[in-house]
Structure 1
């Protein structure tokens, strides 16, 4: 796990400044504190740099990147992990390949010359982002893993293309412009983002399951985007050919166990995150069953009993003999670390769970661990979110009597009333464009798209005018592949939409990589193994959600590993207590608002309408405002604070100077 960066110029004879490459590595020191490297050969017009976190092949010099082939034709940098790489190494060695290192990264440098980019990527398993450059073809590839677990950004400058693992890496380059655009601002305020976009003008993400090809021809760079993988649910009629239930249960257990075993492979100790949910408990249970030594489990505890899951987590740890570390967090103190969290997430967050997870990864590192297994991806594959159940009840059960349908929806709403306004919408919202593309507007994005009115009112007048004709539903629908939606079951469609939007844009960003790597800690999510995903999509919807029971087939597959309390309970959303539920936490939020969203600061940034912001804040004290409205407004206030902090961190501050200062502090010199 590392941080990568690089530049390709249109003019191959234009020198790429070596210290700039080093500065780009230094500003992401948190991603790779163990060593750094750079490579910028003369007359090539390409340079790469790397900040390394040693997990596979701990030799400090041997594993240093960028990696360069013996004949100097190929160079590459890699962030993430390739699993089952030993088998590939052996296969390539039998074909004559000779390796310089023991790391997993080098398999790409050996595979690409033999197979080309398409077959190489097809054979990679894991979470990764990498760049490889072919000097003879004058072609660079930027490649991102299938689900977008690892980040990868790129932008064009006056002289070429700059890329890196984080936005701040791009901004460390003096030619990269830093400007929050109107559409980006709008999407930060409503939480759900357009796939491949960022808050900043002209700055893009490589979409999950894609590569970007950059080829130099006659002094110009031709840039194209290629999709190599997508979540592929079968046609709805295929679900009619149902196998024996036990076969699916056994298949899930077998595939998940294999995914866990691959992710336990490291040259450093591997721990596990543990909440009170079935996902992390399953991962811990399987890890403990295949290891000889006790697993160290890390748990977040909240001081609000409505949101705290430590009792079940403690029971699970005792069942498996895990050594459990519990990090108790007081609600009001989460805002003490909000500013630092936004520096790392580089996007807004709706809930301080992102802060809690950043503090958890810090605790993990303090315990001497660099790697943990996590439960992200389970809800996406096995339909765990309450929004999926709602869509199943509405659209996926044609033969369900209307009275029973209403009863199941009522029960769902009652059991999730704590999260109405966050995990379930406070009121129904429809997008004509999404209806036309998907067949309905999935419940999972209704809550955030329903923030449209709030978001537009909160934007400054200039930004409001810029998006007066903008329809986020249309922009979102255009990114959905019609071939992956046509003829699919409604539950499959709902899961597809969430995976293409909120999984990558939220769960794997401020809930995953960015807050984990803030403390040089790698999180590995076995549920997002693409072999497991290929199996899971073929499980019939009625076995993912059976009656009122979500993730039914997963629960049955893990039944012997789980505490009975957890096996029987419904999905409980893992989030931190909202600010309006605690006076001390609300005051902490207001103190940050005064510091970063004062009338003076808001005017200077030019992003937010200060009067509209004050009106929203005042509604918190209005007893007539429904609780679910306050939940949603709480989220939007976090977003407002977030966009002000994005401006503070990345526009108001001189990022290239910050990067140079960090390199000087570290002694990282070209």
Structure 2
């Protein structure tokens, strides 16, 4: 797991400053503290750099990227892990390939000339983002894994394309413009991003399962984007009406075990994150069954008992004989680390769970672990979120008795009362644009789209005017592939929408890679193995949610591993306690408001209306309803977040900051 960066010039004769490439690696030193590398190709106008976190092939000199083939046709820099690479290496070696390293990344350089990019991607299993330059076509390819576990950003300057694993890597290049734009700001305040976008003008993400190809021609650069993979659910009438439960239960168990086995591959110890949920407990149980030694299990504990899952996590660790490590976090401690978290997430966060996870990765690093397995992806594939049950009850069970529907829905709301205003909407919200694509507005988007009027009121008047005709739901819906939605079961549609929005934009970003890699720690989400995912789409909806039971097929597959308490419990969303529940945390939040969102600072940043922000904060405690205060807590977090982003990425001279960082590290071009 590493950080990558690079430049591709419009004019191939335009020289590339090697030290600039090194500076772009240095500013993401946290992603790869074990060494750096850079390469340029003479008179080709292309240069890559790499910050290395050594996990596979620990030999620093041999495994150093970027890689260049002997004939200098191909140059590669890659972030992430490819599993099952040993089998592919063996097959390629039998075909005459000669490998220079033990790195999993090198298989790309041998697959590509033999079968082209599309077929190469079919062979890649894992979490990855890479840049590949091919002299034959004078083209650079930017590629991101199927679910977007690993980040990859790019932008176009007057002289070419700049890319990197993080936004700050792009901003380290002096030609990259740094400005928060209207749409980006608006979506930061309502939590839900438009897929492929960022908060910054002209800065793009390579979408999950996509390739961005940049070609040079007589007119300059030609940039094309195409999709190579998508999560594809069957047509509704193709699902089994009377499924054989045992078949699906056994297959899920088998495929998850295989995914875990692959992710145990490393030249360093592999631990596991452990909450009180079925997902992480399943991962720990399987990995402990495979391992010869006790697996190190890392658990976050909160000082609010209603949100703390430590007791169930401890029960699971004791059951399987894992070595549990608990990090107990106080309310005020989370906000003390909020600023540093935003520096790494490069987007706003609605809940301090992102801070908690960053502190946990720091704890993992402190006990000399670099790799953990995680449970992300399970709720997405097996319908674990309360929003999915709500959509299933409303749209997916047409023959359900009205009385039974009412009982199940009431149970859902009672068990998730803490999360109304975040995981569940405080009231129904309909986006005409999204409903026209999907057939309804999935519950997962409703809490955030419901904030649109609140967010609009917080903007400066000129920004409000610029966005007067803007429809955030339409902007999101326009990125969906309609062919993936037409004719699908309502539960499949709801899961597809979550995967395309909340999974990539939240769970895998500020809840995943960015806060994990902030402390040089690689997270491996076994549930997002695409072989497992492709099977999960074929599990009939009534086996994903059976009656009031979410993730039914997974629970049955893992029944022998799980504590009885957890097996019988409804899904409980894992998030940090909101600030309004605790006087110390609220005081810590207000301290941040005073530090970053005072009247003078808001006016200086020019993004928000200072009086509207002050009025919102003043009124936060006026509602007696928990769900109103949960929602407003989120918006206040977003306000502080955009102010920090403006200060850290726009007002600060990032290129100079990157140069200083390289000097401090002693990372200098030869």
Flag whether TM exceeds 0.5 (same fold): yes
What displacement does 1:41 show?
A: 2.3
Distance (whole Å) between structure 1 residues aligned to residue 422 and residue 11 of structure 2: 49
Q: Which residues in structure 2 correspond to 1:239-638 (within 5 Å)?
A: 239-622=239-622, 624-638=623-637
Whether the 8 Å CA contact 2:458–2:609 is kept in 1: the answer is yes
What's the CA shift string for 1:12-52, capped at 9, x where partnerless? 00001111000000000000000000011220100000000
What displacement does 1:219 show?
A: 5.3
- Counterpart of 2:221 in structure 1 is 221
- 1:137 and 2:137 correspond: yes
What displacement does 1:441 show?
A: 0.3
Aligned partner of residue 483 in structure 1, secondary structure: helix
Unpaired stretches in structure 1, ≥5 consecutive residues:
none
Distance (whole Å) between structure 2 residues aligned to residue 620 and residue 635 of structure 1: 11
What displacement does 1:6 show?
A: 0.4
- Counterpart of 1:15 in structure 2 is 15
The more displaced of 502-511 and 89-98 is 89-98
Aligned partner of residue 225 in structure 1, secondary structure: strand
Aligned partner of residue 519 in structure 2, secondary structure: coil
The more displaced of 233-242 and 586-595 is 233-242
What's the CA shift string for 1:594-613, capped at 9, x where partnerless? 01111111001111111111
Aligned partner of residue 184 in structure 2, secondary structure: helix
- Counterpart of 1:40 in structure 2 is 40
What is the CA RMSD across the aligned residues, in angstroms? 0.7
What's the CA shift string for 1:134-167, capped at 9, x where partnerless? 1121011000000000000000001000000000
What displacement does 1:193 show?
A: 0.5
Whether the 8 Å CA contact 1:272–1:296 is kept in 2: the answer is yes
Q: Which residues in structure 2 correspond to 1:632-647 (within 5 Å)?
A: 632-647=631-646
- Counterpart of 2:201 in structure 1 is 201
Aligned partner of residue 207 in structure 2, secondary structure: coil
What displacement does 1:578 show?
A: 0.2
Whether the 8 Å CA contact 1:619–1:625 is kept in 2: the answer is no
What displacement does 1:461 show?
A: 1.2
What's the CA shift string for 1:56-84, capped at 9, x where partnerless? 00000000000000111110000000000
Distance (whole Å) between structure 2 residues aligned to residue 270 and residue 334 of structure 1: 26
Whether the 8 Å CA contact 2:418–2:626 is kept in 1: the answer is no
- 1:664 and 2:663 correspond: yes
The more displaced of 216-225 and 147-156 is 216-225
Distance (whole Å) between structure 2 residues aligned to residue 174 and residue 625 of structure 1: 50
What displacement does 1:436 show?
A: 0.7
The more displaced of 234-243 and 258-267 is 234-243
What's the CA shift string for 1:402-438, capped at 9, x where partnerless? 1211221111111100110010001111011111100
Distance (whole Å) between structure 2 residues aligned to residue 112 and residue 414 of structure 1: 53
Distance (whole Å) between structure 1 residues aligned to residue 108 and residue 600 of structure 2: 51
Whether the 8 Å CA contact 2:273–2:299 is kept in 1: the answer is yes
- Counterpart of 2:86 in structure 1 is 86
What displacement does 1:241 show?
A: 4.5
Whether the 8 Å CA contact 1:11–1:219 is kept in 2: the answer is no
Distance (whole Å) between structure 1 residues aligned to residue 86 and residue 420 of structure 2: 47
Distance (whole Å) between structure 1 residues aligned to residue 305 and residue 241 of structure 2: 44
Whether the 8 Å CA contact 1:10–1:219 is kept in 2: the answer is no
Distance (whole Å) between structure 1 residues aligned to residue 638 and residue 665 of structure 2: 33
- Counterpart of 1:108 in structure 2 is 108
What's the CA shift string for 1:292-339, capped at 9, x where partnerless? 111000000000000000000000000111000000000111001000
Q: How many residues align?
A: 669
Whether the 8 Å CA contact 1:172–1:655 is kept in 2: the answer is yes
Aligned partner of residue 49 in structure 1, secondary structure: strand
Whether the 8 Å CA contact 1:26–1:659 is kept in 2: the answer is yes
What's the CA shift string for 1:578-602, capped at 9, x where partnerless? 0001011001011011011111110
Whether the 8 Å CA contact 2:243–2:540 is kept in 1: the answer is no
Distance (whole Å) between structure 2 residues aligned to residue 292 and residue 542 of structure 1: 37
Distance (whole Å) between structure 1 residues aligned to residue 412 and residue 189 of structure 2: 27
Aligned partner of residue 559 in structure 1, secondary structure: coil
Distance (whole Å) between structure 2 residues aligned to residue 108 and residue 608 of structure 1: 46
Aligned partner of residue 41 in structure 2, secondary structure: coil
What's the CA shift string for 1:161-199, capped at 9, x where partnerless? 000000000000000000000000000000000000000
Aligned partner of residue 314 in structure 1, secondary structure: helix
Distance (whole Å) between structure 2 residues aligned to residue 105 and residue 242 of structure 1: 44
Distance (whole Å) between structure 1 residues aligned to residue 459 and residue 409 of structure 2: 35
Unpaired stretches in structure 2, ≥5 consecutive residues:
none
Distance (whole Å) between structure 2 residues aligned to residue 242 and residue 489 of structure 1: 16
Whether the 8 Å CA contact 1:433–1:473 is kept in 2: the answer is yes
- Counterpart of 1:648 in structure 2 is 647
What's the CA shift string for 1:387-414, capped at 9, x where partnerless? 0000000000011011211221111111
What's the CA shift string for 1:85-112, capped at 9, x where partnerless? 0011111111111111000010001111
Q: Which residues in structure 2 correspond to 1:99-178 (within 5 Å)?
A: 99-178=99-178
Distance (whole Å) between structure 1 residues aligned to residue 117 and residue 269 of structure 2: 33
Distance (whole Å) between structure 1 residues aligned to residue 462 and residue 584 of structure 2: 35
TM norm structure 2? 0.99
What's the CA shift string for 1:345-395, capped at 9, x where partnerless? 000000000000000000001111000000000000000000000000000
Distance (whole Å) between structure 1 residues aligned to residue 397 and residue 8 of structure 2: 53
What displacement does 1:342 show?
A: 0.2
Distance (whole Å) between structure 2 residues aligned to residue 242 and residue 91 of structure 1: 41
